[in-house]
Structure 1
Amino acid sequence: MACLYRTFSPPSMRLNSPTYFTLLLLMNIVLGVFVFHYGLSISYIDAVYFVVTIVTTIGFGDFNLAAAPLGIKIYGIYLMLSGAGGYAILFSLVVDRLIKNKLLEITGKKTYKMENHVIICGFGKVGQKILDTLLLLGDSVLVIEKNEETQIDLLQNQNIPYIIGDICQAETLTKAAVAKCKAIIFCTDNDLANLEGALTAQEIEPNVRIVLRIYDQTLARKIQNGFNLKLVFSTSTLAAPTFAQAAHDENIISTTRVQNEVFLTTKILITSQSQLDGIRFAELQNQLEVAGLVLYKANGRQIRFPQADEVLQGGDEMIVTISRDSYKTIKRLNKRKQ
């Protein structure tokens, strides 16, 4: 079996992959079935039963190798040793993998394979409020925090994945899967660290949506103009939910929670040749329970509280209040027909 393991497993996977080791043990069992089927002239089902009792060291005495040929006896000894030893090794590999992953997760050093998630860099008071808003919006969130003593227990209690590390290091952002994230928010108390982290994220993934917190309003404006960062906000003028809304969707203006349901006030630009192009506003109201606030027609006309018979056309932009689930539906309907 060791020979087979060296032959068929890549060097990088040897002795550290439960999957490969399980496959080899299964191959060993299948080989044993054929050996006993032809060597002892027993049925396949009896051969399977015999092999399983040998490798699991559970024998009932109904089958034995006392009268078997010498070669079969030798193979039976090999099967006993390889079965007992192999399963012991497999068990240790599985336990080692589970413990190692849990330790990496607890210590904040795990590398995550997430997609379409929002990364929060900095878990101070602002970061905690941003997290609450993102969870309200239904986003998957990962937190990066440099200080191990910062409210990490709150993340553990909510099963929020987190990384303990420097947001300015490419290695830390790579562990957080920044290349596949929906957006990344830099909201520490250090303006320079936020800026450096944002530039590092932009180097890794130029198209990533970056929401940057800068305390000084004048500096925020200069950074926005000088570093090609669209979503730069000053904390002296905006509250934490604004950062979360910008990360979730740049078209969202505000969020409101009524009992257990979340409502969004958002801008929607009607896409030409989409399912929304050419329908009456009444259809949106009936199907998705949309409350229209303002409709900006493509010809420049502005209509407050659009009437039910108003027809939507490509290029129109409307501001509506809508539930979170209905907003997902309306975004799908607003895609250009293939």
Structure 2
Amino acid sequence: MNGPNPLRRLHAELLYARHGVRVLARPLLLFIVVVLIGGVVEHEYGSTPGSPPQTWTRAFFVSYTLMFSEHLEETPTHLLAQLMHYGQPLLGVLVVSEGILRLGVNLLNRETNARTWVEIMAATAKQHVILCGLGSVGFRVAEELVSMGVEVFAVERDANGQFVERARMIGVHVIIGDARAEDLLVQLHIDKARAIIVATDDDLANLEIAMDAREIAKDVHVVMRLFDQRLAQKVRSVLGIEASVSTSRLAAPLFASAALDPAVVGTHRIGETVLVVVQVTVGEGSVLRGQSYGSLSGRGMTVVGVRGENGQWALSPKPDRWFTVGEQLQVLVRSDQVDELHNIAAG
């Protein structure tokens, strides 16, 4: 996945720097207030006998140096000024220490910093995909999306999940939290997202997240992982979610077909029709010899891939290409056509 463009990266860095400044806002404000008060006291009461009155510039400079325990002037005679001369260095130590402590805690709190950075990146993102659940299925989905150049923001409850660091390594923005918290989806700017994929292993949690997502962003594309096939159908028809996927419904045809024929390498379902991708080799006696790839379309079959001499698969070969003995093909057929394909390929 390509990283964010330089301007967006700069924008994100500036937002993150502003967050760092906010951490120091309270001690900085206290520091300024103490210096201002000390400057006024120094100007009004800080003069020693026989010395000219303090200028405002000098008074504020003396007040500033007192914050760091530096005494540039003799101790004044006025009680209030004396209290400032002795008390301001102590206040300076406390205020500066608080600032250093806040900054240190902020730098060391990696989890908070990581979450803040992800939220900032989400604020500057458009057409990203939000993925809820980084289990084995979620991680594979993230891998596919990243390979397509899509920016992915993943939400995972378990900070120690086995795929969390692996996802970060491939460029996924991971935030630790519960996707059922509505504010989390808002922080990830679901309103600007291309889609949200809900892939936890809890059907009820998935349903709740999907409904929250639709409530926050009515036009967002929702893809759900559901184990219950009937629930998946109801979600599609009643809730108006564009795509609800039953993993068992998708996986079952592949398992069944692969068990019956090891040449089956993939499946796809359209309605109640199961399509399978079968890998075959054109034999010496094949009826396909001397025919074009397109000739299979009359049988309801489609060549989707051919392995070249270099061992690499070429996708969607031209239909006017001719079959040759010994070449390996992947052909899309109905599940009831597998035996027929083997017969015409082998001869």
TM-score, reference length from structure 2:
0.50
Shift in CA distance, 17/145, structure 1 to aligned 2, threshold 3 Å:
closer
The separation in 2 between residues aligned to 1:109 and 1:53, in whole angstroms, is 36
Matched with 2:132 is 121
1:83 is aligned to 2:92: yes
Query: Which residue among 213, 216, 236 is the counterpart of 1:224?
Result: 236
Are residues 105 and 93 of structure 1, via their aligned partners in 2, closer, same or farther at CA, if it must alter by over 3 Å?
A: closer
Residues 145 and 165 in structure 1, CA contact (< 8 A), matched pair in contact too: yes
How do 1:3-152 residues align onto structure 2 when only pairs under 5 Å count? 18-38=24-44, 39-40=46-47, 41-57=53-69, 59=70, 63-100=72-109, 102-104=110-112, 112=119, 114-115=122-123, 116=126, 117-136=128-147, 139-147=150-158, 148-152=160-164
SS at match of 2:131: strand
Unaligned runs of 5+ in 1: 1-15, 238-338
Structure-1 separation of matches of 2:63 and 2:192: 49
Tell me how far 1:228 sits from its aligned partner. Answer: 0.6
Per-residue deviation, 1:120: 0.6
Structure 1 partner of 2:206: 194
In structure 2, distance between residues paired with 1:20 and 1:44: 25
Q: CA deviation at 1:185?
A: 0.8
**SS, match of residue 84 in structure 1:** helix
Partner of 2:181: 170
Is contact 1:184–1:208 with CA below 8 Å preserved after alignment? yes
SS of aligned partner of 2:196: strand
Alpha carbon RMSD of aligned pairs, Å? 3.9
Shift of 1:104: 4.3
CA contact (8 A) 1:170 1:201 kept: no
Q: Could you tell me which amino acid in structure 1 is paired with residue 134 of structure 2?
A: F
Equivalent pairs, count: 216
- Structure-1 separation of matches of 2:29 and 2:113: 28
Letter of the 1:142 counterpart: F
Deviation (angstroms), 1:229? 0.5
Tell me how far apart the structure 2 counterparts of residues 150 and 166 of structure 1 sit (CA, whole Å). 17
Identity %: 26
The answer to whether the Cα contact below 8 Å between 1:178 and 1:184 also exists between their aligned partners in 2 is no
1:121 partner amino acid: C
Provide the secondary structure at the position in 1 that maps to 2:143. helix
Shift of 1:31: 2.6
Aligned letter for 1:47?
A: A
Question: In the TM superposition, what whole-angstrom CA distance separates every residue of 1:160-203 from its partner, at most 9, and x where no partner exists?
Answer: 44344554x33584575465451311123555543343123334
- Contact 1:187–1:212 (CA under 8 A) maintained in structure 2: yes
Which position in structure 2 is the counterpart of 1:213? 225
CA distance in 1, matches of 2:56, 2:35: 12
SS in 1 for 2:104: helix
What residue identity is the alignment partner of 1:208? V
Distance 2:209 2:230 in 1: 20
| Distance in structure 2 (CA, Å) of the matches to 1:155 and 1:52 | 49
Change beyond 3 A, Cα 1:188–1:109: farther
**Contact persistence 1:65–1:73 (CA under 8 A):** no
CA–CA distance in 1 between the matches of 2:137 and 2:225? 10
Deviation (angstroms), 1:83:
1.2
Greater Rg by CA: 2
> What is the Cα deviation at residue 65 of structure 1?
2.8
Q: Deviations over 1:63-120 (max 9, x none)?
A: 22335533322222221221111222232233334445x24467x8999464344321
Q: Which runs of 5+ in 2 are unaligned?
A: 1-21, 48-52, 252-347
Answer whether contact 1:25 1:86 (CA < 8 A) is retained: yes
Contact 2:28 2:99 in 1 (8 A): yes
Indicate conservation of the 8 Å contact 1:33/1:44, yes or no.
yes
Partner-residue secondary structure (3-state), 2:92: helix
